[in-house]
Chain A
Amino acid sequence: MSDPQPTARFTEEQVQRYARHIILPNIGGAGQRKLLDASVLVIGAGGLGSPIAMYLAAAGIGKLGVVDFDRVDVSNLQRQILHTDADVGRPKVESAVEHLRAINPTIEIEGHDTLLFSTNVYDVFEGYDVIVDGTDNFPVRYLVNDACQFMGKPLVYGSIYQFEGQATIFLPGQETPCYRCLFPAPPPPGTVPSCAEGGVFGVLPGVIGSIQATEAIKLITGEGQTLEGRLLLYDALHMEFQEVKIRWDADCPVCGKEPTITELIDYEQFCGVPAR
């Protein structure tokens, strides 16, 4: 609305590619321009990372990064729709970048073939406006949260287990909750099985990942009401959505009134499990 000629700065190709966004109320030319000017990093090219990255690439995020250290396994293909049978054995990042370029060759797509550690997370996150978490373990989830808080970056959170998923967004800044406000401590090792141990319903990450992509786009365009302060819970088996409140914890060690954690820590030690 603020731009009288919102399509003036688009190429002819962009006008065609993003036509359904550009004519859409609440996105329009101005919103599409924001998406093209934005940079988003997707952590994990797996179950959640697949739909997140595919929809963000299709939406025309100007610079899209994907970070993963793993290789495509045939057991991934039941849900990780970014990869195909021909990609088994390839680094996930390589496969992801190739398929995302096939979806949208007009944006910048960057692959980071690495595990995230306290020692490299700042370097990887630098240069991205929004971080979207699709990782599969607690050490990296706490690392990503803390790094986003310390760097002042918004975090779009999602996680899944068997038939259930959760999603929300965490914003940096005063008196807004972070992941540690929601879950102050990781579960003791062995109490919560991984998807490899407990299984995961293949379509589930499609739903939660799509919600994360939705929230990232709304965050960038500034339209609508995000999940800030609300945790969305999804139960695929009973087809139920539920919402609970997320409060800022004044005693949070990272974002509370008197933080006791002011720099990155050893997250594998904190969680008692390896980050893979």
Chain B
Amino acid sequence: MAVTIKLPTILRKFAGNEARVTAEGVTLAEVLKDLESRYPGITKNVIAEDGGLHRFINVYVNDEDVRYLGSLETPVADGDTVSILPAVAGG
């Protein structure tokens, strides 16, 4: 199951400055694990040390915040888009 991952600016340096990459998996956890294997270090600001999602960075499957779906166990389907969205404060 290939999904598109939209990367925020702060994570693009891990992926050769690409704004969108692909990864495989049937759950968000699997997708992020695959993403990490392709671009080492990229998920350290997404997944906390306790294995859960950080609270200062949001992850969406299509347009839905995964905190309201199933967190890391959220199922993903072929063609879905996973967006990683950090809080930014600039003005």
Q: If A160-B91, A235-B19, A243-B63 touch, does A192 touch B68 (CB 8 Å cutoff)?
A: no
Stretch in B22-30, B35-43, B52-60 touching the partner: B52-60
Chain B residue nearest to A183 (CB atoms) is B87
Residue contact B56 to A160, C-beta cutoff 8 Å: no
Q: Chain B 49-81, CB within 8 Å of chain A: the 1/0 string? A: 000000111101001110110000000000000
CA distance A164 to B12 in the complex (A): 13
Chain A residue nearest to B88 (CB atoms) is A161
Does B85 lie at the interface of the complex (its beta carbon under 8 Å from any beta carbon of A)? yes
Select which of A137, A161, A247 is within 8 A of B9 by beta carbon: A161
CA distance A184 to B52 in the complex (A): 14
CA distance A66 to B39 in the complex (A): 44
Chain B residue nearest to A186 (CB atoms) is B56
Closest beta carbon of chain A to B47's beta carbon, Å: 14
The number of residues on chain A lying at the interface, defined by a beta carbon within 8 Å of a beta carbon of chain B, is 47
Q: If A183-B58, A244-B64 touch, does A160 touch B88 (CB 8 Å cutoff)?
A: yes
What is the interface of chain B mostly: helix, strand, loop, or mixed?
mixed
Q: If A188-B56, A235-B19 touch, does A245 touch B88 (CB 8 Å cutoff)?
A: no
CA distance A242 to B58 in the complex (A): 14
Most buried by A among B60, B67, B68, B87: B87
In the complex, chain B residues whose CB is within 8 Å of the CB of A187: 56-57, 86-87
Does A163 lie at the interface of the complex (its beta carbon under 8 Å from any beta carbon of B)? yes
Residue contact A244 to B85, C-beta cutoff 8 Å: yes
Q: Chain A 31-51, CB within 8 Å of chain B: the 1/0 string? A: 000000000000010111100
Residue contact B65 to A138, C-beta cutoff 8 Å: no
Does A146 lie at the interface of the complex (its beta carbon under 8 Å from any beta carbon of B)? no
Residue contact B90 to A136, C-beta cutoff 8 Å: yes
CA distance A235 to B60 in the complex (A): 16
Does B21 lie at the interface of the complex (its beta carbon under 8 Å from any beta carbon of A)? no
- B interface, how many residues as a size bin? 20 to 34
Residue contact A244 to B91, C-beta cutoff 8 Å: no
In the complex, chain B residues whose CB is within 8 Å of the CB of A195: 90-91
Chain B residue nearest to A237 (CB atoms) is B19
Interface residues of A in 84-132 (CB under 8 A from B): none
Residue contact A136 to B89, C-beta cutoff 8 Å: yes
Most buried by B among A134, A183, A247: A183
Does B10 lie at the interface of the complex (its beta carbon under 8 Å from any beta carbon of A)? yes
Interface residues of A in 119-166 (CB under 8 A from B): 133-138, 141, 158-164, 166
Residue contact A194 to B91, C-beta cutoff 8 Å: no
Closest beta carbon of chain A to B10's beta carbon, Å: 7
Residue contact B68 to A247, C-beta cutoff 8 Å: yes
In the complex, chain B residues whose CB is within 8 Å of the CB of A159: 87-91
Residue contact A134 to B91, C-beta cutoff 8 Å: yes
Closest beta carbon of chain B to A273's beta carbon, Å: 9
CA distance A166 to B38 in the complex (A): 28
Name A's B-contacting residues (CB within 8 A).
Answer: 44, 46-49, 133-138, 141, 158-164, 166, 182-188, 191-195, 198, 200, 205, 231, 233, 235, 237-238, 242-247, 249
